[in-house]
């Protein structure tokens, strides 16, 4: 949940999630729609699916418990080198270094390396991490370096005068701490245009389940598609556009510029009128019941921006 998301944002999600799925078994048996609904707003939806797949694997292969050994943890869907080392060290004090961006930053600065910690400098990162956790208390050690990185050895403005490691820090000694670690050059984002639709009829909103092969597949959302990937939506006769809004979504390395149209129809359009909308399924949700449904955050914002312009009597 914490990937690219701040702790304050995650806490209410985490609490709701644990109260809905208190055990591995509950998560394994959960309805995927309910799971995705509780995750909506956090983004990176494959994490939710992987979490459930891992819970199912844990039920089948490990008696409903998270395994202890690193290689068993790595066999679970969505658990890679960093997460398995973090679980093994923090939960069981096993001597594995959990090397994420935080540890990479601190280690790169300590030895003042200009090698990329993810590529040609990887072996050095692992050897420093391993030497540290071999001293004992691997879980505490990993967490203490993570804390140092997030509170003191900050990416842009490291607070070196406060740092307990400064006397051993080669980058500080050379005054090059702000230059490290070496950043990899990011590829330019791919820019796309997309269209979205807020379709209202009989005080209900049309939702579309994203098809497999689409971004956010399996998720309920307002209907949206990349321009040109689907025929333009022709509003049914008797309908009127009541609002529109633009917003930007970033998905992986894509910057997607949305134009969302709010359209109100006289009555619910026929299946034929909706057949070009790209979706695995469609459903109408009464606006009064929308509070129980969580959509991806950009769609929530588009709804708030457009529905405010519509005078509806929902009493
Ligand atoms: S002295 Fe500065 S650069 Fe070095 S580890 Fe501490 S905070 Fe980071």
State the closest ligand 1 atom to the C-alpha of 148, by its place in the atom list counted from 1: 7
Q: Where are the beta strands (DSSP E) in the chain?
A: 190-201, 204-209, 220-221, 224-226, 240-251, 254-265, 281-286
Ligand 1, residues 117, 145, 160: which to mutate, most atoms within 8 A of Cβ? Answer: 160
- Three-state DSSP at 24 gives helix
Model pLDDT for residues 107-160, shown as the tens digit of each residue: 999 999 999 999 999 999 999 999 999 999 999 999 999 999 999 999 999 999
Q: Would you state the structure tokens that stand for residue 306, as one six-digit string? A: 């457009």
HSE of 70, CA atoms in CB hemisphere, 13 A: 13
**Which of 153, 162, 167 best tests ligand 1's pocket when mutated (most atoms within 8 Å of CB)?**
153
From the CB of residue 46, how many other CB atoms can be counted at a distance below 10 Å? Answer: 12
Nearest to 243 by CA among 159, 308, 314: 308
Q: What is the pLDDT of residue 90?
A: 96
Q: What is the spatial distance between Cα 77 and Cα 56, in angstroms, rounded to a whole number?
A: 10
The CA 163 to ligand 1 mean position distance, Å, reads 6
106 CB under 6 A from ligand 1?
Answer: yes
Cα 231 from Cα 267, distance rounded (Å):
22
| pLDDT computed for residue 19 by the predictor | 96
Looking at residue 311, its pLDDT comes to 67
Residue 129 Cα, ligand 1 centroid: separation in angstroms?
16
> 237: CA distance to ligand 1 center in Å?
65
CA 209 to mean position of chain CA atoms:
19
The alpha carbon torsion through 289, 28, 67, 65 (nearest 10 deg) reads 90
Per-10-residue mean pLDDT of the chain, 315 residues long, equals 86 95 97 92 89 97 95 96 96 96 96 94 96 96 96 97 97 97 86 95 94 89 91 86 90 91 93 91 93 88 86 56
- Res 312: pLDDT: 62
- 165 CA distance to ligand 1 middle (Å): 6
Query: Ligand 1 pocket check: which of 104, 109, 112, 164 to mutate, most ligand atoms within 8 Å of Cβ?
Result: 109
Give the C-alpha separation, 280 to 219, whole Å: 10
Q: Which is nearest to 195 in space by CA: 226, 221, 171?
A: 226
65 C-alpha vs ligand 1 centroid, how far in Å? Answer: 39
Give the residue whose CA is nearest to atom 4 of ligand 1.
169
Residue 315: predicted pLDDT: 47
Ligand 1 midpoint to CA 166 (Å): 5
Query: What spacing in Å lies between the alpha carbon of 267 and ligand 1's midpoint?
Result: 64
For atom 2 of ligand 1, which residue has the closest CA? 160
**What distance in Å separates the CA atoms of residue 293 and residue 168, rounded to the nearest whole number?**
52
- Domains contained in the chain, CATH given: 7-179 (1.10.340.30), 190-307 (3.90.79.10)
Distance 184 CA to ligand 1 centre (A): 21
105 CB near ligand 1 (under 6 Å): no
Query: How remote is the CA of residue 144 from the centroid of ligand 1, in Å?
Result: 14
- The rounded Cα 270 to chain-centroid distance in angstroms is 35
Distance CA 115, CA 123 (A): 10
- Which of 161, 165, 178 is the pocket-test mutation for ligand 1 (most atoms within 8 Å of CB)? 165
């Amino acid at each position: 949940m914490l990937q690219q998301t701040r702790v304050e944002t995650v806490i209410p999600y985490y609490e709701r999630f644990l109260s809905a799925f208190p055990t591995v078994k509950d998560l394994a048996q959960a309805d995927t729609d309910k799971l995705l609904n509780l995750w909506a707003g956090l983004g990176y939806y494959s994490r939710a699916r992987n979490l459930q797949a891992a819970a199912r694997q844990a039920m089948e292969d490990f008696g409903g418990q998270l395994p202890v050994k690193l290689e068993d943890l790595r066999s679970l869907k969505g658990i890679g080198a960093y997460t398995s080392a973090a679980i093994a060290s923090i939960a069981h004090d096993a001597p594995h270094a959990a090397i994420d961006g935080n540890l990479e930053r601190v280690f790169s600065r300590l030895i003042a390396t200009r090698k990329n910690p993810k590529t040609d400098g990887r072996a050095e990162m692992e050897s420093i991490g391993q030497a540290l956790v071999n001293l004992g208390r691997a879980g505490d050690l990993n967490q203490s370096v993570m804390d140092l990185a997030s509170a003191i050895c900050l990416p842009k403005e490291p607070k070196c005068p406060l740092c307990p490691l400064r006397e051993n820090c080669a980058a500080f000694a050379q005054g090059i701490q702000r230059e490290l670690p070496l950043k990899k050059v990011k590829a330019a984002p791919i820019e796309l245009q997309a269209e979205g639709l807020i379709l209202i009829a009989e005080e209900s909103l049309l939702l579309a389940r994203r098809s497999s092969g689409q971004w956010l597949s399996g998720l309920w959302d307002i209907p949206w598609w990349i321009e040109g990937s689907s025929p333009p939506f022709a509003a049914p006769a008797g309908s009127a556009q009541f609002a529109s809004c633009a917003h930007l979504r970033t998905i992986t390395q894509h910057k997607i510029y949305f134009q969302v149209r709010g359209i109100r129809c006289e009555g619910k359009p026929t299946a034929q009128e909706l057949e070009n909308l790209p979706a695995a399924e469609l459903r109408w949700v009464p606006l009064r019941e929308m509070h129980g449904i969580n959509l991806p955050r950009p769609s929530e914002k588009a709804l708030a921006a457009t529905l405010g312009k519509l005078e509806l009597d929902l009493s």
